[in-house]
Structure 1
Amino acid sequence: MLLHEDPAVTIRGISVSDMDNNVYLLTAKKSGAQVLIDAADDFPAIEHLLRDGAADAAGPAKVELIITTHSHWDHVRALPDAVAATGAKTAAGAEDIPAIEVPTDVSLEHQDVGRFDGFSLEAIKLRGHTPGSVALLYRAPDGPAHVFTGDSLFPGGVGNTQKDPERFATLFNDVHDRLFGYLPDDTVIHPGHGKGTTLGAERPHLDEWKSRGW
Structure 2
Amino acid sequence: MNARIDHTTTSGTFSLDGQTHEVDNNVWVIGDDHECVVVDAPHDVNAILEIVGDRDVSAIIATHGHDDHVRFAPELADAVGAPILLHPDDSVLWRMTHPNREPDRMLADGEVLGVAAGTGLRVLHTPGHAPGAVSLYSVELNTVFTGDTLFAGGPGATGRSYSDFDVIIESIANRLFTLPDDTIVRPGHGPSTTIATERPHLSEWKDRGY
Task: Quickly name the TM-score band, shorter chain normalised.
Answer: 0.7 to 0.9
Letter of the aligned partner of 2:145 in structure 1?
A: F
Residues of 1 paired with 2:160 and 2:86: CA distance? 25
**Post-superposition CA distance 1:91-148 (Å, at most 9, x none):** 11111124322421221122121234412111111111111000111122xxx61111
Q: Give the match for residue 40 of structure 2.
A: 38
Residues of 1 paired with 2:115 and 2:130: CA distance? 27
What is the aligned-residue identity percentage? 38
Q: SS where residue 4 of structure 2 aligns?
A: strand
Residues of 1 paired with 2:166 and 2:191: CA distance? 24
Structure 1: 4+ residue segments shifted above 3 A: none
Residues of 1 paired with 2:160 and 2:114: CA distance? 37
Q: Could you tell me whether the CA contact under 8 Å between 1:97 and 1:107 is conserved in 2?
A: no
In the TM superposition, what are the counterparts of 1:84-95 in structure 2 within 5 Å? 84-95=78-89
Letter of the aligned partner of 1:35 in structure 2?
A: V
Q: SS where residue 115 of structure 1 aligns?
A: strand
Residues of 2 paired with 1:80 and 1:37: CA distance? 13
In the TM superposition, what are the counterparts of 1:115-194 in structure 2 within 5 Å? 115-118=114-117, 119-140=119-140, 145-162=142-159, 167-181=164-178, 183-194=179-190
**Post-superposition CA distance 1:15-38 (Å, at most 9, x none):** 101411011101124xx2210000
Partner of residue 62 from structure 1, selected from 28, 50, 56: 56
Q: TM-score, normalised by structure 2?
A: 0.86
Q: Could you tell me whether the CA contact under 8 Å between 1:155 and 1:196 is conserved in 2?
A: yes
Q: Give the match for residue 19 of structure 2.
A: none
Question: Where does the alignment leave 5 or more consecutive residues of structure 2 unmatched?
Answer: 13-22
Q: SS where residue 90 of structure 2 aligns?
A: helix
Residues of 2 paired with 1:196 and 1:137: CA distance? 14
